[in-house]
A = this chain, B = another copy of it.
Amino acid sequence: MLEKTDRKILHELQFDSRRSAATIGEKVGLSASACHRRIRLLEDRGVIEGYGARLNAEKLGYVMTFFVEVTLEGQSETVLGAFERAAAARPEVLECYLTTGTADYVLKVSAQDTDDYERIHRRVISGLPHVIRIQSSLVMKTVKSWRGYPVE
């Protein structure tokens, strides 16, 4: 699926996308242009979806994170579809997953403070279509946050 050299390139770019093709090429044993060609190819194939800045959540004011388990009234395609569209449209909902297990969906939500969370809980999540049960877990400590996939 992916070659060893490609994986090394991806590994580098995951953690610092500002490295130049020349720098990465040196690390992986390729010339700058060969490395650059591979990167372009990885972009074209969609392996690399884009490049983004990693922001510090706390410095943005997002000091609280929650995992919210949501149960819906029923499982029909209509119900699930309506919920998913509404959830995805809310900026407060950072992530949303349909999962097996006790609940139907798991959401990741960030809040600025307790008032903000109260607002999100009551106005946003409770207001999503067909929600009948909500159970929140506050993140007390982020032991490991997302840094990238094990690609090497």
Say yes or no: is A79 at the interface (Cβ < 8 Å to chain B): no
Q: Knowing A88-B144, A149-B110, say if A139 contacts B94 (CB, 8 Å).
A: no
Name the interface size band of chain A.
35 or more
Q: Knowing A99-B140, A140-B99, A146-B146, say if A52 contacts B55 (CB, 8 Å).
A: no
A114 to chain B, nearest CB (A): 13
Say yes or no: is A14 at the interface (Cβ < 8 Å to chain B): yes
Q: Contact: B96 with A144, CB < 8 Å?
A: yes
Given A14-B52, A14-B55, A51-B54, 8 further pairs, Cβ under 8 A: A1-B60, A2-B59, A17-B17, A51-B53, A87-B144, A100-B137, A100-B138, A101-B138
Stoichiometry, copies per complex: 2
Q: Mark A44-67, 1 if CB is under 8 A from B, else 0.
A: 011111111111110111100101
Q: Mark A135-152, 1 if CB is under 8 A from B, else 0.
A: 111111111111111110
- Which residues of A line the B interface, CB within 8 A? 1-2, 10, 13-18, 45-57, 59-62, 65, 67, 84, 87-88, 91-101, 105-106, 108, 110, 135-151
A18: B residues at CB distance < 8 A: 17, 51
Q: Contact: B101 with A52, CB < 8 Å?
A: no
Q: Contact: A100 with B140, CB < 8 Å?
A: yes
Q: Contact: A94 with B149, CB < 8 Å?
A: yes
Q: Knowing A17-B17, A95-B145, A143-B98, say if A1 contacts B53 (CB, 8 Å).
A: no
Rank and list the top 5 A-B pairs by shortest CB-CB distance, nearest first.
Answer: A91-B150, A101-B137, A13-B53, A96-B143, A98-B141
